[in-house]
Amino acid sequence: MVYLTRIEHFNAAHKLYNKSWSKEQNETVFGKCANENWHGHNYELYVTIKGTPSSETGFVFDVKQLSVLINSIIIEKLDHRNLNMDVDFMKGKMCSTENLAIGVWNELEQNLPSGVFLHCVKLYETPRIYVEYFGENRGRQ
Amino acid sequence: MSKVAVFRREHFNAAHRLFNPAWDNARNDEVFGKCNNPNYHGHNYELEVKLVGEPDPETGYVFDLKQLSELVSEHIIEQFDHKNLNLDTQHFINLNPTAENIVVVIYEILRKKIDSRFDLKIRLYETERNFVEYPA
C-alpha cells in the first residue's frame, strides 16, 4: 500500500458563529473568530489517497488527474468564497476547520473513481493550526 | 559604526474584497475576478517590519525587537487581525484593500511611531507567493 498526497490551496472568508446563541456567548466561546463581518485565511489542503501502484503505470493514481478532481470538486467551491455563505456542503454547519475537513472528505469520497481510496484530508487554517480527518471507517477496515 | 537591519515578523488573518465602487459589476468582475466576491474572501497575512540603524553601544541592539513586536501588535495587528478590512477599519473606506494599499497604510502608521533615525521598510505577504514591499 502506498499513500499519495496532493497539496492544493484556497483563500476564503469565514466566521465562527452559532446563530442559536447570543452575541455575548459567541464572543465568549469563539473570541475574535466570531467577528460578524468575517475574517479570512489562506487554507492549505492535503489530500492523501492510498492504493497499490499499477503494474502498467507505476501510479497509485495519476496525480495530475487527482489535482484536476480536487480543483473541480473542492477548490472551485471554496477559493475566494465566504465559507459560511457560498458553499453548498457547509450550509447549516458550523464553519470550523474540523467541519470543513469532514465536508471536503465527503465531497471527495463521492466523486473519486472506483479503486481510489481516500486516506486522509489534512487542512491547514494557518501555518500553525491544522486538522486531519481519516473518515469514519478507519479502524474497522 | 556599521548599520544593521533588524526584522520582526507578525501575522494577521483578515477578510477583504477588491472592487471599485465607481465601476459596474461587470467591470469589477473583469478586473478583479474572484477577488470581487461580494461575500468577501480572506487571507493569512504575514508582515515583515525591517528597521535599519546602528547598534546601540550600551545594549548592542539596533531596536529592542520585543518593543518592536509590541508596537506592531498595538498599532497594526489589533486593528487588522480577525477583521474585515473593507468594513472594520477606517483606512479602506475609500481605498481598495489591495496588498499594495495595505502595505502603504501599515508603513504610514508605523513611520509615525518609529524614530526617523531608523530606516523603515515593510513587506507584506498576502499569500506565500504574493507579496509586496514599501518603500520600493
- Disruptive mutation site among B9, B35, B39, B47 for chain A (greatest number of A CBs within 10 Å): B39
What is B4-134's CATH number, 3.40.50.10800, 3.50.50.60, 3.10.290.10, 3.30.479.10? 3.30.479.10
pLDDT given for residue A140 in this prediction: 46
* Helix residue ranges, H only, A1-141: 23-30, 63-70, 76-78, 83-86, 97-111
Q: Which helix (H) or strand (E) holds B119?
A: strand B119-125
| pLDDT under 50: residue ranges of chain A | 139-141
Q: Check A38 against B35: CB less than 8 A apart.
A: no
- Helices A63-70 and A97-111 pack at an angle, to 10 degrees, of 120
Q: Check A86 against B82: CB less than 8 A apart.
A: no
Residues in chain A: 141
Cα within 13 Å of Cα(A130), Cβ side: 14
CATH number at residue A41: 3.30.479.10
Q: Is residue A78 part of a domain?
A: yes
B56-108 residue pLDDT tens = 999 999 999 999 999 999 999 999 999 999 999 999 999 999 999 999 999 99
Give the CA distances from residue A65 to residues A26, A60, A117, B2, in Å, rounded to whole numbers and listed in that order.
Answer: 41, 11, 14, 55
Chain A nearest CA to B93, separation (Å): 14
Could you tell me which of B94, B119, B96 has the C-alpha nearest to residue B36?
B96
Q: How many domains does chain A have?
A: 1
Q: Which range of residues forms the domain containing residue A25?
A: 2-133
DSSP state of B33: G
Question: Residue B130 — very low, low, confident or very high, per pLDDT cuts 50/70/90?
Answer: very high
Q: Is residue A141 part of a domain?
A: no
Give the CA distances from residue A41 to residues A19, A116, B45, B126, in Å, rounded to whole numbers and listed in that order.
Answer: 22, 30, 8, 10
Q: What ipTM was assigned to the predicted interfaces of this complex?
A: 0.84
| Domain spans of chain B, in order of start | 4-134
Q: Is residue A94 part of a domain?
A: yes
CB A44 within 8 A of CB A12: no
Active site residues of B: 35, 82, 126
Please give the mean pLDDT across all residues of chain B. 97
Alpha-carbon span B36 to A33, nearest angstrom? 22
The values of phi and psi at residue B28, to 5°, are -65, -40
